[in-house]
Chains A and B, each alone.
Chain A
Amino acid sequence: MNATALQDVPPPRETQESYLQDGFSLRSWLLTTDHKRIAILYLASITAFFFIGGSAAALVRYNLLVPQGMIHSAETYNRLFTMHGVVMVWFFLVPAVPVTLGNFVVPLMLGARDLAFPKLNLFSWYLFILGGIVVLYSLFTGGVDTGWTFYTPLTTAYSKGHVVATVVGIFIAGFSSIATGLNFIVTIHRLRAPGLTWFRLPVFLWSLYATSVILVLATPVLAMTLLLLAFERIFHIGVFDPAFGGDPLLFQHLFWFYSHPAVYIMILPGFGIVSEIIPAFSRKPLFGYSFVVWASIGIAVISFLVWGHHMFVAGTSLLSALVFSILSYMVAVPSAIKVFNWIGTMHKGYIHFDAPMLYALGFIGLFTMGGLTGLFVAALAADVHLTQTYFVVAHFHYVMVGGMVSAFFAGLHYWWPKITGRMYPEMWGRAGALTIFIGFHLTFFPQFILGYLGMPRRYHAYPPEFQVLNVLSSAGTTILAAGYLLPLAYLTWSLLRGERAPANPWEATGLEWKTPSPPPTHNFTVTPMVDSAPYSYPTPGSRHRHE
Chain B
Amino acid sequence: MNETFLPHEFQYASAEHQSQTAISGMWLFLASEMLFFGVLFLSWIFCRHWNPVGFDVGGGQTEMILGTINSVLLLTSSATYTAGTRCIEAGNARGLIAFCVITALLGLTFLGVKFGLEWHGDLDKHLFPGPDFAIQGAARAGAQLFFVFYFVSTGLHGLHMVAGIGLVAWILWRARRGDFSAAYSTPVSVVGLYWSFVDMVWVVLYPLIYLVGRSP
List A residues at the B interface (Cβ < 8 Å). Answer: 6-9, 11-12, 107, 112-118, 120, 178, 182-183, 185-186, 189-191, 216-221, 223-225, 227-228, 231, 235-239, 244-247, 250, 254, 522
Contacts and interface: CB of A to CB of B under 8 A. Distances in A.
Contacts of B24: 186, 189-190
Given A182-B29, A224-B40, A231-B148, A247 B50 contact: yes
Contacts of B46: 247, 250
Contacts of A186: 21, 24-25, 28
A245 B54 contact: yes
Interface string B16-55: 0100110011001101110111111001001100110010
Contacts of A227: 152, 156
B141 A245 contact: yes
Contact of A11 (B5, B10, B36, B145): B10
Contacts of B8: 7, 9
B65 interface: no
Contact of A245 (B21, B28, B142): B142
B17 A235 contact: no
A7 to B, nearest CB: 5
A191 B5 contact: no
Instruction: Pick from A113, A190, A236 the residue with the most CB of B within 10 Å.
Output: A190
B202 to A, nearest CB: 17
Interface string B126-150: 0001100100000001101100110
B152 A228 contact: yes
A116 B148 contact: no
A218 B130 contact: no
Contacts of A217: 31-32, 35
B10 A12 contact: yes
A230 to B, nearest CB: 10
A150 B47 CA distance: 21
12 contacts: A7-B14, A9-B8, A113-B11, A178-B29, A186-B24, A190-B21, A191-B11, A224-B40, A231-B152, A235-B129, A238-B145, A247-B46
Contact of A190 (B9, B20, B149): B20
Contacts of A219: 32
A88 to B, nearest CB: 24
Contact of A522 (B10, B35, B144): B10
Q: Most B CB atoms within 10 A — which of A219, A236, A246?
A: A246
B127 to A, nearest CB: 12
Contacts of B47: 239, 245-247, 250
A224 B28 contact: no
B7 interface: yes
A221 B36 contact: yes
Given A186-B28, A245-B141, A9 B130 contact: no
A254 B43 contact: yes
A112 B145 contact: no
Contacts of A113: 10-11
B204 interface: no
B5 A8 contact: yes
Interface centre among B9, B29, B50, B51 (most CB of A within 10 A): B9
Nearest to B147: A237
For the complex of A and B, 10 pairs with smallest distance between CB atoms: A245-B141, A220-B36, A224-B39, A237-B129, A220-B35, A113-B11, A114-B11, A11-B10, A190-B21, A220-B32
A245 B32 contact: no
B130 A237 contact: yes
B173 interface: no
A182 B130 contact: no
Nearest to A189: B24
A182 B25 contact: yes
B32 to A, nearest CB: 5
Contacts of A183: 25
A186 B12 CA distance: 12
A225 B54 CA distance: 23
Contact of A221 (B12, B21, B38, B133): B38
Given A185-B28, A190-B21, A221 B39 contact: yes
Interface in B73-131: 129-130
Contacts of B7: 9
Contact of B10 (A9, A190, A231): A9
Given A182-B28, A190-B24, A235-B130, A223 B36 contact: yes
A117 B24 CA distance: 11
B183 to A, nearest CB: 16
A459 B37 CA distance: 37
